[in-house]
Amino acid sequence: MEHTKNAELSVEQNYNHIDGLNNNLPIQPPEREKPLDKVKEPPRPKRSREREDR
C-alpha cells in the first residue's frame, strides 16, 4: 500500500485524492468538431492609377 500511495502522490493533482486511484479529475467531455472555415473571397481589385490621373 505504501508503494501505491507514493506513486499516487507523484501523479495526483491534489493531495486530498489519495485513494488508490490515479488522477481523480472529472472526465472531460469530448471536444466538438469545429465546422470547416469558409474560404474567404479575394479582395476587390483596387482602382487603377489611370483613373486617378483624370
pTM: 0.24
| pLDDT recorded at residue 15 | 60
pLDDT exceeds 80 at position 13: no
Residue 46 gets the label, from left (phi > 0), alpha (psi -120 to 50) or beta, of: beta
The boundaries of the domain holding residue 28 are 2-51
- Tell me if 13 sits within 8 A of 25, measured CB to CB: yes
Number of folded domains that form the chain: 1
